[in-house]
Each structure stands twice: as C-alpha cells, then as structure tokens.
Amino acid sequence: MGFLIAVGILLLVVLIIVVINIKIVPQAKTYVIERLGAYRATWDTGLHVLIPVIDRVAKQVSMKEQVADFDPQPVITKDNVTMQIDTVVFFQITDPKLFAYGVEQPLKAIENLTATTLRNIIGDLELDHTLTSRDTINAKVRSILDEATDPWGIKINRVELKNIKPPAEIQDAMEKQMKAERERREAILRAEGEKASAVLVAEGKKESQILAAEAEKQAAILHAEAEREARIRRAEGEAEALRKINDAEAYAIRVINEAAPSEEFLTLKKLEALGTVADGQATKVIIPSDLQGIVGLVNSVTEAK
C-alpha cells in the first residue's frame, strides 16, 4: 500500500513537471531557449516542451512594433543656442537571438545613441535651420540608428522630433519677430486693399466721364440731325411755295395772254407795278426802258379828260 502511494506521488510529480515545462508561445511573440546556458533555439507561435533542468526560456521577445518616448536631450546648435529636444523612436525586433545577446539594455542603448546622433546633426545646423528642417533631421537620425542597431536585431522604422524647446529669451525674440512679421503682412494687405479701392474709384470716375461724354456726343449728333431735318423741311416748303407761285404766275400770264389785252392796258399795269415798287423798302428802283411811251400815254389820257 505504501509503495502504491509512493508511485502515485512520483507520477504526480512527473506530471506536474511535464505540465510546467509545456510552453505555449502566443501570437507576435518568440521565446529564446537556452540549453545548459547556451543558445538552443528560437520558438515561434505554438506549443513547445522544455526539457526539465536542461532547457530554459532565456528571453521572451515581442515581435510587434514598439514605441520609445525618450526624455528631452540638451543639444547645441551651430550658432551656440542650447535647446531641449525630445524624440520618439518606432522600432521592431527582427532577430530575437541578436536582440537577446547583442547588447545589454537595448532601449537604453537606443536612447543614448539617439542623443549622441542628435547632437552631431544639430551641431552642424543653425537655430532657424533646425526649426525648419525636422523632416531632414528625422531622416538622418533614422538612417544612422537603423544602421547602428542592425547588429542588435532591431529595425528602426521611424524617428520623430516630438518637441524642440529653445531658451525662453529665444522664444520671446521669435514671438516678437513673428508678431512684427504678421503686422508687416497686415500693413501690406491693407495698403494693397486701399490701392485696389483707389484704382476702382478712379476707374469708376473714368467710366462715368466716358459715359457722360458719350451721352453729350449722342445728344449733339441728334440735335444736329434734327436741325438738318428741319432745314430740309423748310427748304422743301419754300421750294414748294416758289413752285406754286410760279405756277400761279404762269397761269396768270396764260390767262392774260388768252384775253389779248391792249397795249394801253399793259402800260397801265406797268405803271401800277412801278408805284408799288417805289412805295416798298427796296434801296434800288428799276426804270423800264419804255418810260417815254408810258409818259406819253399818261398825257393822252389827261388831255382826253
């Protein structure tokens, strides 16, 4: 009975040891396995069994992309301005074995390497260039870190300058400069607006004057055309009146000719016409060529009375 109990206990211990040494590697993780203190294998996702006492899990490595946010580091620019720069590094482990045995405290190593790289790059740049060249600095730091961490089984995917903090007096000067620049731009925009307004007003006056001159021109043309039309109508009326007078005179002459008046009658009519001419306002008097005959006729008439 005691033997059976001992065997049962032994089997239970063996079962417990076996269960303890069964390892399930989750997704996106790998286990670095050592056998008797030496690297043995790298386990990927799945079920694995350790040999008790001989094998052990030396390191559990995450294969996900990781983010390291480092504290601000003091750097000095080419123009001797000291400022604080904090960085964010995105990295991923590509070789668990190199990561486990390549460097002690990999994150600390990356942080120190990032700080020294920033100092080397920023030391060749002036302050203004540093503030406007973040993308260039990010690319240079990433390239240098990726090359340096490759023997550690680490891939640097991206480096970002999270914040750049110049000294307080530099920030104050920059704010004043930005304020002055904004005021200058505002003054330029205001001047351009006033100029555009003045141009529009001048163009409006010009257009108004042109339209007024055009109106006067059209009015003068219409007046001249009206006067010309009136003159034409008057001339046509006078011509029509003369034509009718001529027709009347011609008719009178024709009637007189048909009546065959005597010479004495014609002479008397001439005397009447002469008297009418003498009573008028004319400055010239036309004397008929047969004046002597007319006088004789008058004497004859007088003697007959």
Tens digits of residue pLDDT in 99-129: 999 888 888 999 999 999 999 998 888 888 8
- Phi and psi at residue 71, in whole multiples of 5°? -70, 155
Reported as a pLDDT band with limits 50, 70 and 90, residue 304 is: very low
3-state secondary structure 31-65: EEEEECCEEEEEECCEEEECCCCCEEEEEEEECCE
Cβ atoms < 10 Å from Cβ of 85: 21
65-166: CATH topology: Tetrahydropterin Synthase; Chain A (3.30.479)
Q: Is 80 left (phi over 0), alpha (psi -120 to 50) or beta?
A: left
Cβ atoms < 10 Å from Cβ of 123: 11
The pLDDT tens digits for 121-150 are: 988 888 888 888 888 999 999 999 999 999
> Going by C-beta distance under 8 Å and a sequence separation of 6 or more, which residues neighbour residue 35?
51, 54, 55
What whole-number percentage of the chain has pLDDT above 70? 81
275 has pLDDT over 60: no
Residue 11: what pLDDT?
79
Reported as a pLDDT band with limits 50, 70 and 90, residue 279 is: low
What average pLDDT does the segment 195-215 reach?
Answer: 87
What whole-number percentage of the chain has pLDDT above 90? 21
For residue 151, count CB atoms less than 10 angstroms from its CB and return exposed for 0-12, middle for 13-18, buried for 19 or more: exposed
> Going by C-beta distance under 8 Å and a sequence separation of 6 or more, which residues neighbour residue 85?
72, 73, 75, 118, 122, 161, 163, 164, 165
What average pLDDT does the segment 238-250 reach?
Answer: 77
Instruction: Give the SS3 label for residue 242.
Output: helix
Q: Is 53 left (phi over 0), alpha (psi -120 to 50) or beta?
A: left
